[in-house]
């Protein structure tokens, strides 16, 4: 069975083609700058051969047309014909309160994704565009939606409600949803496999530390908590997002700086985080380089991030009633040797102690805790695309 996995952003489209009989990636790529000048497609086949195609892509339909053409191209293709694609899996950012698992896409599902536009204005419209473009280009092929929020639907009401009048939850669906669910679930399951124990029997904290960062508490194979909230703006300080701040700061800044709702939204999402604090970059590689040259604010930004993650690990250990496994994933979690070391520093109280030699690993699976320590600390590269392909395979086989 061949499955195409699609992850649509507002001006980009990532894809992977899986042969699900062997869970093997046949090809993957990225269409960039859709609807903007100088758009292009970067395509790579499993043998490592790469190609960049410069072509105007006015919308997602044109981008998907080019993806399908490239996938069946005699030189760079991996399929004889697009009819080999048995199903398409889509990453959808926001599933709201009604989707607790992946679903086959129907008219009703699309309607619901559309109704959730106001909760995820940057992501859900792009996701739906990708779905509708696929329907046009591959009519009759089953499509599946895999939601970033679905895994967190097991959070109890005491975790997902905010301290605001209850009718706002009923009227506007204001509650914590949590994000990066596909990634948290994948690495938690994988941790169980690596450790040779059912993941449902482990108390797990998963740290997805990328440009966007979120942390989850997982017990009995269920998400109990996630640092992200109503939107992906809540939680730990991130690359460009503020994470948690006193809500009064929002109105205070709006008044002082004369910002509109749109401007403050843009500010909190794009100009804050470690970028705002350091004044240098949202990328930890730049911050670490600046820090090594004695830049105080770069150092401060890194310290704030580490402090924030440590706080959540402590809080989540109390919610879980102990801890068996701590997982690091995503760009920084997989590659940030110093960041992992500093997060785990002075955590012996919780049974967390890493082995500095074992921690010298980037981008591959490893157990980095010292032998014999109660908490196993793991680095696991995330694989959201594989999770989407697995769910798609399972749902279309029913
Ligand atoms: P997203 O998918 O949220 O855009 P990623 O998961 O790709 O983000 O993570 C990107 C971040 O990972 C970068 O901003 C950078 O801070 C961090 N990162 C990637 N590689 C390294 C590295 N070798 N050392 C330190 N940090 C890294």
pLDDT digits 0-9 by tens, 189-216: 999 999 999 999 999 999 999 999 999 9
Asked whether residue 246 is domain-assigned, the answer is yes
Both 142 and 74 in one domain: the answer is: yes
Both 142 and 231 in one domain: the answer is: no
Q: Which atom of ligand 1 is nearest to the CA of 288?
A: 25
User: What is the CATH number for 124?
Assistant: 3.30.420.40
pTM of the model: 0.94
Q: Measured from the CB, is residue 273 less than 6 Å from ligand 1?
A: no
Asked if 108 is an active-site residue, the reply is no
Asked whether residue 179 is domain-assigned, the answer is no
Both 310 and 379 in one domain: the answer is: yes
**pLDDT reported for residue 10:** 79
Q: Which atom of ligand 1 is nearest to the CA of 382?
A: 6
Both 118 and 233 in one domain: the answer is: no
If one counts the domains in the chain, the total is: 2
Both 242 and 370 in one domain: the answer is: yes
Closest by Cα among 155, 205, 188 to 323: 205
**pLDDT reported for residue 120:** 86
Both 314 and 378 in one domain: the answer is: yes
Both 132 and 208 in one domain: the answer is: no
Say which DSSP state 243 is in.
Answer: -
Both 233 and 115 in one domain: the answer is: no
Asked whether residue 47 is domain-assigned, the answer is yes
Both 125 and 255 in one domain: the answer is: no
**Of the residues 118, 147, 176, the one at which a domain ends:** 147
Both 142 and 203 in one domain: the answer is: no
Contact 113, 127 (CB under 8 A): yes
Asked whether residue 267 is domain-assigned, the answer is yes
Asked whether residue 167 is domain-assigned, the answer is no
Q: Measured from the CB, is residue 381 less than 6 Å from ligand 1?
A: no
Q: How, if at all, do strands 40-45 and 204-209 pair?
A: unpaired
Pocket test for ligand 1, best of 331, 333, 341, 361 (most atoms within 8 A of CB): 331
Residue nearest ligand 1's atom 12 by CA: 331
Q: Measured from the CB, is residue 285 less than 6 Å from ligand 1?
A: yes
Of 38, 148, 246, 308, which residue is the catalytic one? Answer: 148
Distances (CA, A) of 282 to 16, 40, 178, 363: 27, 25, 22, 20
Both 124 and 53 in one domain: the answer is: yes
Say whether pLDDT at 119 is over 90. no
Distances (CA, A) of 30 to 15, 19, 34, 39: 6, 19, 11, 11
Asked whether residue 397 is domain-assigned, the answer is no
pLDDT above 70: percentage of residues in the chain: 100
Q: Determine the distance separating the centroid of ligand 1 and the alpha carbon of 331, expressed in angstroms.
A: 3
With bands split at pLDDT 50, 70 and 90, how would you rate the model's confidence at 398? Answer: confident
Pocket test for ligand 1, best of 12, 180, 207, 210 (most atoms within 8 A of CB): 210
Both 131 and 222 in one domain: the answer is: no
If you average pLDDT over residues 52-68, what whole number do you get? 94
pLDDT digits 0-9 by tens, 121-143: 888 999 999 999 999 999 999 99
pLDDT digits 0-9 by tens, 284-303: 999 999 999 999 999 999 99
Range of the domain at 23: 2-147
């Amino acid at each position: 069975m061949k499955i195409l996995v699609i992850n649509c952003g507002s001006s980009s489209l990532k894809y992977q083609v899986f042969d699900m009989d062997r869970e093997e990636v046949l090809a993957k790529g990225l269409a960039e700058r859709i609807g903007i000048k100088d758009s292009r497609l970067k395509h790579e086949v499993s043998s490592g051969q790469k190609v960049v195609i410069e072509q105007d892509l006015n919308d997602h339909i044109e981008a998907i047309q080019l993806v399908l053409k490239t996938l069946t191209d005699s030189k760079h293709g991996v399929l004889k014909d697009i009819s080999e694609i048995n199903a398409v899996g889509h990453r959808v950012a926001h599933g709201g309160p009604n989707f607790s698992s992946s679903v086959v896409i129907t008219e009703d599902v699309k309607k619901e994704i559309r109704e959730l536009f106001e909760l995820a204005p940057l992501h859900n419209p792009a996701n739906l565009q990708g779905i509708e473009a696929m329907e046009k280009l591959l009519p009759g092929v089953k499509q599946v939606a895999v939601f970033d929020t679905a895994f967190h639907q097991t959070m109890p009401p005491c975790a997902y409600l905010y301290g605001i009048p209850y009718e706002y939850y009923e009227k506007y669906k204001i509650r914590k949803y949590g994000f990066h669910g596909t990634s948290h679930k994948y690495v938690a399951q994988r941790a169980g496999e690596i450790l040779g124990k059912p993941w449902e029997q482990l108390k797990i904290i998963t740290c997805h530390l990328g440009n966007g960062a979120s942390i989850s508490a997982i017990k009995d194979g269920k998400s109990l908590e996630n640092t992200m909230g109503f939107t992906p703006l809540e939680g730990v300080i991130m690359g460009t997002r503020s994470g948690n701040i006193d809500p009064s700061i929002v109105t205070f800044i709006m008044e002082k700086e004369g910002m509109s709702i749109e401007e403050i939204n843009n500010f909190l999402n794009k100009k804050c985080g470690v970028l705002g604090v350091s004044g240098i970059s949202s990328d930890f590689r730049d911050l670490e380089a600046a820090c090594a040259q004695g830049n105080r604010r770069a150092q401060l930004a890194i310290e704030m991030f580490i402090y924030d993650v440590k706080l959540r690990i402590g809080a989540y250990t109390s919610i879980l009633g102990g801890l068996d496994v701590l997982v690091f994933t995503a760009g920084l979690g997989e590659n940030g040797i110093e960041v992992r070391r500093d997060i785990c520093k002075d955590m012996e109280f919780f049974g967390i102690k890493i082995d500095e030699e074992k921690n010298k690993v980037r981008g591959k699976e490893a157990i980095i805790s010292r032998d014999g320590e109660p908490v196993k600390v793991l680095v696991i590269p995330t694989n959201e695309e594989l999770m989407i392909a697995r769910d798609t395979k399972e749902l279309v086989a029913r």
